[in-house]
Amino acid sequence: GAVVSQHPSRVICKSGTSVKIECRSLDFQATTMFWYRQFPKKSLMLMATSNEGSKATYEQGVEKDKFLINHASLTLSTLTVTSAHPEDSSFYICSATPRPRGGTDTQYFGPGTRLTVL
Amino acid sequence: AQSVTQLDSQVPVFEEAPVELRCNYSSSVSVYLFWYVQYPNQGLQLLLKYLSGSTLVKGINGFEAEFNKSQTSFHLRKPSVHISDTAEYFCAVSNLNSWGKLQFGAGTQVVVTP
């Protein structure tokens, strides 16, 4: 099956620093990647949609200047949390969708990145 | 706008017993429906999905779900659970007009005990 990886799996940083999280589709080309945030014992909240070669589309209430998304290639999207604060601590999950093949395609999820901001 | 409601936050069940996880949705347009499973410390894995056609959908690991349009429900069932089915289960919908953007329910924690 299709595999999506995330790096790092967990990161601890100091308040005020920036952290970059990578999401890679390992065995398929992903025209679209999604970034989610999952709070403890809560559901996933869609943050933004990342399309290769174009600007990301952010969901309402998500600060685009704080959560920078870059989808530079068909296999890589990055999420940079800028000037991180403790309230940004969360589990960040990406998903990727293969190139459409004449129908709807499944999203494949990465294993997530645990961010802790001290 | 659309929303997903998972009525049970936690479902304890004995091994080899059946389990049903409830999911209701609301949407002004047609939707696709999904069930995902998240094992401890792992990413989400697709169990099954309903796009069109037969309302009874069979997925992996012996799970199945039935789409009921009149009741706007997509309940997940397994006739006999194993210890390894202990996990968090998420129901999700996507809008036909913006396919790919998943709206998730709050999740149901299934705890299987011997």
Cβ–Cβ under 8 Å, residues A47 and A67: yes
Q: Is the peptide bond before A86 cis (omega within 30 degrees of 0)?
A: no
pLDDT one-digit tens code per residue, B94-110: 876 665 788 899 999 99
Residue B97's φ and ψ, nearest 5 degrees, are -80, -15
The pLDDT, as a whole number, for residue B47 is 95
Instruction: Report how far residue B90's alpha carbon sits from residue B37's, in angstroms, rounded to the nearest whole number.
Output: 6
Instruction: Report how far residue B44's alpha carbon sits from residue B22's, in angstroms, rounded to the nearest whole number.
Output: 18
pLDDT one-digit tens code per residue, B16-63: 999 999 999 998 888 889 999 999 878 889 999 998 889 999 999 999
Of A49, A92, A14, A114, give the one whose Cα is nearest residue B95: A49
| Shortest Cα–Cα distance, A67 to chain B (Å) | 18
Interface of B with A in 90-109 (CB under 8 A): 90, 99-107
pLDDT in tens, chain A (118 residues): 678 999 999 999 999 999 999 999 998 888 889 999 998 777 889 999 988 888 899 999 999 999 999 988 889 999 999 999 999 999 999 999 876 543 456 788 999 999 999 9
The pLDDT, as a whole number, for residue A51 is 84
DSSP B72: T
Instruction: Report how far residue A34's alpha carbon sits from residue A46's, in angstroms, rounded to the nearest whole number.
Output: 7
Q: Does A32 contact B100 at a Cβ distance shorter than 8 Å?
A: yes
Interface of B with A in 74-93 (CB under 8 A): 90
The single-letter code of the amino acid at B28 is S
Of B32, B36, B42, the CB nearest to A111: B42
| Shortest Cα–Cα distance, A113 to chain B (Å) | 10
Instruction: Report how far residue B52's alpha carbon sits from residue B40's, in angstroms, rounded to the nearest whole number.
Output: 31
Instruction: Report how far residue B59's alpha carbon sits from residue B52's, in angstroms, rounded to the nearest whole number.
Output: 15
The pLDDT, as a whole number, for residue B62 is 96
